Structure 1
Amino acid sequence: MIGLSALFSSGDAWAQQADASLFFKAPARVYVEALPIGNGQVGGLVFGNPNKDRIVLNEKSLWSGGPQDADREDAHQYLDDIQNLLVQGKNKEAEQLLQKHFVSKGDGSGRGRGANVHYGSYQTLGDLQLTWQDTLADYRDYSRILDFQTGLAKTTWTREGVTYSQEAYVSLADEVMVIHLTASKPKSLSFDLALDRKENIQAMEVSKNQIVMQGQLPNKDLLGMKFAAKLKVFPSGGDTEVSGQSLQIRSASECYLILSAATDYSIDDPASRDGDPSLKVKELIESISIKGLKERQIEAFGALYNRNHLSLQNKMGDGDVSRYTTPERLQRYADGIADNQLPVLYFNYGKYLLISSSQPGQLPSNLQGIWAPEYQAPWNGDYHLDINIQMNYWLAEPMGYGDLAEPIRHFTYNLVENGMKSAKAYYDAPGWVAHVISNPWYYTSPGEGASWGSTMTGGAWMTEHIWEHFRYSRDTAFLKEYYPVLKGAAEFLSAVLIEDPESNYLVTAPSNSPENTYLKPNGYKGHTSMGPTMDMQISREVFGNTIAAATILGIDEDFSQQLAEKRSRLAPNTIGKNGDLNEWLHDWADVDPHHRHVSHLYGLHPYDEITPWSSPELAQAVTETLVQRGDGGTGWSRAWKINFWARLGDGDHALLLFKKLLEPVMDEGGKIVMSNGGTYPNLFCAHPPFQIDGNFGGAAGLTEMLFQSHGEEETLRFLPALPKDEGWQTGSLKGIRARGGFRVDFAWENGQVVSGEIHSSLANTASVSLPAKLRILAENGTVIHKNDSSKPLLVEVEFKKNTSVRLVKIN
């Protein structure tokens, strides 16, 4: 049997770290108070109740529904009619015709409730329930802490003189969930174990040391996905017995619970089935060695977590913050009490969630990451292509996690086959298209509603992550592999453009500006349009990226020339009569002036065709747009606005939006508030309800405030949007990545950079905005550049492969 291990880490080791842990003094009442753990594929939400505990289980590929043919094969026959109506200004008639002939066939997404239609929904795997015995006495000294650096969630409490510990994690190294239970007194662990799922269970087999759950989800007319979970018990001492559907563990001194989960989903061929999930979970469990489990997890997780590091000088409003719980810190921050470790905590939580929900070879993180307690997830927990899935990966490249963004790139690659069919069915066009929504079956058809489902640039936006990975890595082998995806998106957009007779510009049609409604001068409120600004920006980006890729690879010269000619004729960004950037081809008003989507600022972020230094008039127009839209909105909308203001160089406004993103969202009774954006007690972003995109987008925004490398020249810019707030004036950022293959470390004091290092993995040239009163030294100490002035100086630095330069303060 397993020997009784050392009982607990020291108190210091498990005290809250102000910048790297969640901390609660009570069990979770609802899932947005629970601690999220995961290894990308398997996720858990730990409630930590010392009487009856619940751990919500997720397996990333567990979806109801299945592949479907949602394309209307004859839709392209109506394309000319729809486009002609738009050209004539008859938007109402065009939208009516589009709703009749140009939406998805069948149920589409089920209007966001697709669990029982072909589209399907992401679903919880179920619950692991742990019911403690001898709970008549109250517990005290309760603590629940999630350590970001290790991925370990630890719950401790004391009852009748005995201190209990429950440590939970999902191992990156061993691919199983681990719950390790100990007590300060031998033979004190007595509890019942069960796996529970409310529906679609085919078998629940309980033996003396394990529980195996098997099931199959519905797929309307067909048999759906099979799944399995296996929970095995490794006790030290005590007795284990079967009681109905539960296991009873009595008087153990220590116990490991090991859980594995799997489905028969095939990521590259979802129409087929990939093995027997019950055999997969059995093989995983049988391969586990208990010895060294925790050490292997800490090593694997830490290697990823420690790729970068942010610190801000610790200046608290009233002393040490570590005595406050996470929800208390949120409330204090909202009340205006200083806590400058909270932005660092949010930055670190973003990378923790990315590591825990996205690993190579998997599906991408969905709307809920891998932490959904529902059988019908909100909006099906799917992949929204009009910002949400993309926002999930904004932080990956700059934080040095380009490998963890492989799932979104591979997902985009797998959209192409269905996207070619949709392009043919709706537009009779070459290349490939994906619209607004998708799922593990690589759905590319429009949605079922004309008001939101016809945006035609969702797939094209996805290709940005391919190009951005190249910009950061300069990996030409990667670019060659993914070039057909870029080219296919460009081929489609090139083929569907039509000429606007008023301006002679080329525009997309029909499309819309995601989920927003315009007001025409004649009073008509509509969605369907031609040439919405975001479409034009994305078209310029895709054409430009494809041309650049073809040039680098030395191929497709004629096609590149065709794209260049059409790119020059695309409808440009225009400024309206109120000084804002127009969202549509014409200067139409918004029905909702404060709409959550600000899609026409795509050219500012994530695309970089608009910058304060290259296009100041447009930068002023987008500033005016943001002022008019206001600082409210859903969680992810506030996160996007942080990035907008950071790109504009306004750190104070970016910080204002960050504070609004962190506004607490729970009522005093512990109920989940379903209005307005903000942040839940466990730092999950409130759309509401919970959507993880805001977490990732907010963390990315903090990065943009401190370091940027976008724009045509990809200039490295230090502290481009540093707030004036005192808590931000001194700090350091290490391990940040820059476009061009650079890794950057730097520190600042009193708002000024005082030291740094730029490392290049390639032989290349860096454009650097050298901060004031700094010089750049080569590895041999030679001065390369010197900036004696009080303003940044634009310089170029030549690098040999795998060499560094230092930024040193001029004394």
Structure 2
Amino acid sequence: MVKAKILFFYLSCVLFLPALAQENKALKLWYTKPAGQFEEALPLGNGCLGAMVYGGITQERISLNEATLWSGKPIDAANINPNAHKYLQPIRDALFAEDYKKADSLQHFMQGPYSEAYMPLGYLFFNFDHKGEASNYKRELDIQNAISKVTYQIDGTTYMRETFVSNPDQVVIFRLTATGKNKLNFTTHFNSKLIAKSQGKNKLLTMKGWAPVHTEPNYRGNIPNAVVNDTLNAMRFTSALRVLKTDGQQSASDTTLRISNATEAILVLSMATSFNGFDKHPAREGKDETALANRYSKRASRKSYQKLKDAHIKDFREYFDRVSIQLGDTQNEELETVDRLNRYATGKTDNSLIALFYQYSRYLLISSSSPDGIPANLQGLWNESIRPPWSSNYTTNINAEMNYWGAETGNLSEMHKPLFSFIERLSKTGAITAKNYFNAGGWVCNHNSDIWAMTNPVGDSGEGDPSWANWPMGGVWLSTHLWEHYAFNLDKKYLKKQAYPLMKGAVQFCLDFLTTDQKGNLVTAPSTSPENVYITDKGYRGQTLYGSTADLGMIRELFVDYLKSAAVLGLDLDFQKKVKEALEKIYPYQVGKDGNLQEWYHDWKDQDPRHRHLSHLFAAYPGASITSSATPALADAVRRSLQIRTNDGTGWAIAWRINLWARMQNGERAYDAVKKLMRFVGKDAAIKMGGGGVYTNLFGAHPPFQIDGNFGGGAGIAEMLLQSHQGYVELLPALPVEWQSGSIKGFVTRGGFVVDMDWKAGKLISAKVYSRNGGTCEVKYAGQLKKLDTKAKRSYDINF
């Protein structure tokens, strides 16, 4: 029986009210000693400002980031290898003559410079005049309220430090208190790995500095001029710390701010850069970063601490509290996070830890990707290195996209928006790259990008391996996110104004880039399968080929998305015809002799059969042209490919496996990947394990730290519980036996349906669908399919 009723209270709960979220104890990371390294510190952020709290006793260290602080300046896309397109046809000729060695060699002539790097702004230190040993130490991160807290006792006095990063006020707030016979006595100062100068004056502490004008990727090693500084042409930054309130004495001199004999001190930190857009020189055309930082600081200083805190919590929980998840084992929530991770590593269950990890993925997305800001990079928002791993850039052959896999299902659609603005910027530089490198229209993006919207193939103009340097499908993959956002929200204005033109440009590039193989099929040439190496039947180990399954799967997905968009908007009938004709001619998926989905045009072996990338399985996830219902034979081939690859790998690679096994509706294999993703690889791990996993602060370990493991893992957990890619909403499609009982509230599906459900003993007990937009909603559970004709803003109980 299907019963419909209007539930205004339900709507408010699903979207806004904190009543839906788990009890607060389930939403805390906590520890009994200070952090000793970055992967133990606790992250705070508002999408622009980032802070890592170490929680020291005699010295507190706060690592600081500002999302727009990058090395470099706007790129001159027109003059980056303008003759690259001249090598396109020779490479194709070599490929179709089966001379793969020559094709690999020629690919080097179609490369350009590396991306720039995301920079650390610096540190803020607090030095305390404590006398005696500390006891009852505790540091915690409350991810429901986005507040870090440190408490300990010394000589009968309880010391407390509370920190949060406010989105409404664009500042970092610190509150320090001393309760007992002793007072707060401390100094605070800035430091930076970049060129910077600090000054204390008029009870204000400032630091001004400059990013490098160029930074080489860390993996290039110790090479000359790896970091180039030029303060006349560099992006500038400013940080400013002022006292909002204290009952003690305060003074500032030289590079230090001092507070003495206080029971309370509240400080406001602001940060800003001269970044003024991807196409504006940050030195000559930059914003006034000092004026910006002072504006934020002064505005916040007019408010009380409680008003700042209340506004911060209200803003953050508007997003966070939309979703609740319970998976059982709540008794473990009383344990310290390190203990929980070590227990889980021994094989003990802790489903509540998995639920915490899921909500932590949402916490990190809210904290590193605000609606009007810069998209989350390879480390989200948090970085301490001048040459961070892989430049902490936007790696578009999986990692940048994976950051946003869970945004829509996790009821954080707004956090997806910075990626779309970034795609708009890429389309501008990418149009030049498409012409110069491929003699094509539309726009293209290759393997790496940065805040300057770089789109060229990387490789230092010939030094890079084609397997990763030469890969023009970044724009194709990114553009599939544009349709995905529409599919969940049905916002025609967004589709027409922003998504459709960008998708059409990416489609135009594909139409121009595709070429005909010797059988009359459309294929890509040159082509690679990201970062993997094939072995031909003659024994050659190569990287360049024609018609990789990954390329063609992504193009298929984009073409289908584009045609659906054009149909919704009723636009470009002639262009639609071209796309449909091309779609029909694309080289079909092939099943290899081992029953696997072929990665290469020919049935070649992989140099590494357990390679971390699963690009050839894109059509199964995040794409949907291979599904268990519509293409069962190909789905079987995907399963076989996953078996060959195994569930081991780097952090993000394991996360991809979770999602793929979920799409293949194998809950046990998906859960096995979850367990591997949750391997404790931190310094305090009782069992030393190799491969990917999580650090002490639950950051995803590649290793090193990459945040895509967090985001991809969260998306995979959601995919195990709810799917909607096959034209209907499916409840508990990949529920493992380990999750016998649980509930979710506020998860979102395509079509704009919000789902709540409870299950017990592995069986669905109740389900409810809230329809945001109206329309038909088909719901499937355990082989049964029920059809609902819904009205907008109504809730429907579903009984199976």
Q: TM-score, normalised by structure 1?
A: 0.90
SS at match of 1:768: strand
- Alignment-derived partner of residue 389 in structure 1: 400
Q: 1:176 aligns with which of 165, 171, 179?
A: 171
8 Å contact from structure 1 (residues 675, 688) kept in 2:
no
SS at match of 1:624: helix
Q: 2:95 aligns with which of 86, 91, 97?
A: 86
Task: For residue 675 of structure 1, report the CA deviation from its aligned partner.
Answer: 5.8
Task: For residue 421 of structure 1, report the CA deviation from its aligned partner.
Answer: 0.3
- Alignment-derived partner of residue 74 in structure 1: 83
Task: For residue 306 of structure 1, report the CA deviation from its aligned partner.
Answer: 0.4
Q: Greater share of helix residues, 1 or 2?
A: 2
Please state if 1:228 is matched with 2:243: no
- Alignment-derived partner of residue 445 in structure 2: 434
SS at match of 2:39: helix
8 Å contact from structure 1 (residues 733, 745) kept in 2:
yes
Q: 2:486 aligns with which of 458, 470, 476?
A: 470
Task: For residue 251 of structure 1, report the CA deviation from its aligned partner.
Answer: 0.6
- Alignment-derived partner of residue 221 in structure 2: none
Q: 1:682 aligns with which of 665, 688, 697?
A: 697
Q: Whole-Å Cα distance in 2 between the matches of residues 556 and 17 of structure 1?
A: 52
Cα-to-partner distance string for 1:692-737 (whole Å, 9 max, x where unaligned): 00000001000000000012x2x10000000011xx1111111111
Percent identical pairs in the alignment equals 38
Task: For residue 670 of structure 1, report the CA deviation from its aligned partner.
Answer: 11
8 Å contact from structure 2 (residues 156, 181) kept in 1:
no
- Alignment-derived partner of residue 252 in structure 2: 242
Cα-to-partner distance string for 1:214-251 (whole Å, 9 max, x where unaligned): 11222157712111110112342221223431112111
Q: Whole-Å Cα distance in 2 between the matches of residues 560 and 271 of structure 1?
A: 39
Q: Whole-Å Cα distance in 2 between the matches of residues 670 and 176 of structure 1?
A: 38
8 Å contact from structure 2 (residues 338, 684) kept in 1:
no
Q: Whole-Å Cα distance in 1 between the matches of residues 398 and 685 of structure 2?
A: 33
Q: 2:531 aligns with which of 502, 506, 515?
A: 515
Q: Whole-Å Cα distance in 2 between the matches of residues 271 and 520 of structure 1?
A: 47
8 Å contact from structure 2 (residues 25, 334) kept in 1:
no
8 Å contact from structure 2 (residues 403, 711) kept in 1:
yes
8 Å contact from structure 1 (residues 186, 252) kept in 2:
no
Q: Whole-Å Cα distance in 2 between the matches of residues 550 and 324 of structure 1?
A: 53
Task: For residue 268 of structure 1, report the CA deviation from its aligned partner.
Answer: 5.5
Q: Structure 2 matches for 1:4-15, cutoff 5 A? A: none
Task: For residue 471 of structure 1, report the CA deviation from its aligned partner.
Answer: 0.4
Structure 1 pair 75–306 and aligned structure 2 pair: CA distance change class (3 A): same
Q: Structure 2 matches for 1:446-485, cutoff 5 A? A: 446-448=457-459, 449=464, 450-482=466-498, 483-485=500-502
SS at match of 1:430: coil
Q: 2:509 aligns with which of 492, 507, 510?
A: 492
Aligned residue identity for 1:532: S
Q: Whole-Å Cα distance in 2 between the matches of residues 562 and 161 of structure 1?
A: 78
SS at match of 2:468: coil
Q: Whole-Å Cα distance in 1 between the matches of residues 778 and 430 of structure 2?
A: 38
Please state if 1:127 is matched with 2:127: no
Aligned residue identity for 1:633: G
Task: For residue 669 of structure 1, report the CA deviation from its aligned partner.
Answer: 9.6
SS at match of 1:224: coil
Aligned residue identity for 1:129: F
Structure 1 pair 179–674 and aligned structure 2 pair: CA distance change class (3 A): farther
Aligned residue identity for 1:191: F
Aligned residue identity for 1:217: A
Q: Structure 2 matches for 1:732-743, cutoff 5 A? A: 732-743=743-754
Cα-to-partner distance string for 1:616-637 (whole Å, 9 max, x where unaligned): 1111111111111111100000
Task: For residue 453 of structure 1, report the CA deviation from its aligned partner.
Answer: 1.1
8 Å contact from structure 1 (residues 235, 253) kept in 2:
no
SS at match of 1:644: helix
8 Å contact from structure 1 (residues 208, 240) kept in 2:
no
SS at match of 2:309: helix
- Alignment-derived partner of residue 732 in structure 2: 719
Aligned residue identity for 2:768: E
Q: Whole-Å Cα distance in 1 between the matches of residues 325 and 516 of structure 2?
A: 49
Task: For residue 321 of structure 1, report the CA deviation from its aligned partner.
Answer: 2.0
SS at match of 2:164: strand
Please state if 1:800 is matched with 2:791: yes
Q: Whole-Å Cα distance in 2 between the matches of residues 411 and 803 of structure 1?
A: 35
- Alignment-derived partner of residue 604 in structure 1: 620
8 Å contact from structure 2 (residues 126, 188) kept in 1:
yes
Q: Whole-Å Cα distance in 1 between the matches of residues 517 and 689 of structure 2?
A: 42
Please state if 1:700 is matched with 2:715: yes
Q: Whole-Å Cα distance in 1 between the matches of residues 793 and 24 of structure 2?
A: 35
Q: Whole-Å Cα distance in 2 between the matches of residues 339 and 506 of structure 1?
A: 49
Aligned residues: 750
Task: For residue 294 of structure 1, report the CA deviation from its aligned partner.
Answer: 1.3
Cα-to-partner distance string for 1:581-606 (whole Å, 9 max, x where unaligned): 10011111000111100110100100
Q: Whole-Å Cα distance in 1 between the matches of residues 315 and 791 of structure 2?
A: 31
Q: 1:572 aligns with which of 551, 574, 588?
A: 588
SS at match of 1:19: helix
Cα-to-partner distance string for 1:737-782 (whole Å, 9 max, x where unaligned): 110121111111111111121111223111221x3xxxxxxxxxxx
8 Å contact from structure 2 (residues 74, 278) kept in 1:
no
- Alignment-derived partner of residue 198 in structure 1: 193
8 Å contact from structure 1 (residues 707, 720) kept in 2:
yes
Q: Structure 2 matches for 1:156-171, cutoff 5 A? A: 156-171=151-166
Q: Whole-Å Cα distance in 2 between the matches of residues 187 and 25 of structure 1?
A: 23
- Alignment-derived partner of residue 219 in structure 1: 213
- Alignment-derived partner of residue 28 in structure 2: 21
- Alignment-derived partner of residue 788 in structure 1: none
Q: Whole-Å Cα distance in 2 between the matches of residues 120 and 497 of structure 1?
A: 30
8 Å contact from structure 1 (residues 209, 234) kept in 2:
no
Q: Whole-Å Cα distance in 2 between the matches of residues 183 and 439 of structure 1?
A: 44
Q: 2:319 aligns with which of 277, 285, 304?
A: 304
Q: Whole-Å Cα distance in 2 between the matches of residues 403 and 379 of structure 1?
A: 27
Cα-to-partner distance string for 1:303-326 (whole Å, 9 max, x where unaligned): 1110111112336xxxx3244221
8 Å contact from structure 1 (residues 211, 232) kept in 2:
yes
Structure 1 unaligned residues grouped into runs of 5+: 1-14, 110-118, 772-790
Please state if 1:616 is matched with 2:607: no
8 Å contact from structure 1 (residues 18, 341) kept in 2:
no
- Alignment-derived partner of residue 678 in structure 2: 662
SS at match of 1:574: coil
Q: 1:258 aligns with which of 262, 268, 273?
A: 268
Structure 1 pair 670–125 and aligned structure 2 pair: CA distance change class (3 A): farther
Cα-to-partner distance string for 1:618-664 (whole Å, 9 max, x where unaligned): 11111111111111100000011000111111111111111100111
SS at match of 1:157: strand
Task: For residue 511 of structure 1, report the CA deviation from its aligned partner.
Answer: 2.0
Q: Whole-Å Cα distance in 2 between the matches of residues 761 and 537 of structure 1?
A: 31
Task: For residue 505 of structure 1, report the CA deviation from its aligned partner.
Answer: 1.0
Q: Whole-Å Cα distance in 1 between the matches of residues 62 and 626 of structure 2?
A: 46
Q: 2:298 aligns with which of 275, 283, 286?
A: 286
8 Å contact from structure 2 (residues 117, 388) kept in 1:
yes
Q: Whole-Å Cα distance in 2 between the matches of residues 407 and 270 of structure 1?
A: 19
Q: Whole-Å Cα distance in 2 between the matches of residues 601 and 171 of structure 1?
A: 40
Q: Whole-Å Cα distance in 1 between the matches of residues 188 and 99 of structure 2?
A: 64
Task: For residue 451 of structure 1, report the CA deviation from its aligned partner.
Answer: 3.0
Cα-to-partner distance string for 1:71-120 (whole Å, 9 max, x where unaligned): 31111112111111111111110110111x2111xxx22xxxxxxxxx42
Q: 2:71 aligns with which of 64, 67, 73?
A: 64
Q: Whole-Å Cα distance in 1 between the matches of residues 557 and 795 of structure 2?
A: 32
Q: Which deviates more, 543-552 or 428-437?
A: 543-552
CA RMSD of aligned residues (A): 1.8
Q: Whole-Å Cα distance in 2 between the matches of residues 451 and 670 of structure 1?
A: 37
Aligned residue identity for 1:147: D
Q: TM-score, normalised by structure 2?
A: 0.92
Task: For residue 507 of structure 1, report the CA deviation from its aligned partner.
Answer: 0.3
Q: Whole-Å Cα distance in 2 between the matches of residues 525 and 60 of structure 1?
A: 40
- Alignment-derived partner of residue 781 in structure 1: none
Q: Structure 2 matches for 1:43-58, cutoff 5 A? A: 43-58=50-65
Cα-to-partner distance string for 1:27-55 (whole Å, 9 max, x where unaligned): 00001111101111001110000111100
Task: For residue 800 of structure 1, report the CA deviation from its aligned partner.
Answer: 1.9
8 Å contact from structure 2 (residues 434, 444) kept in 1:
yes
Please state if 1:351 is matched with 2:362: yes
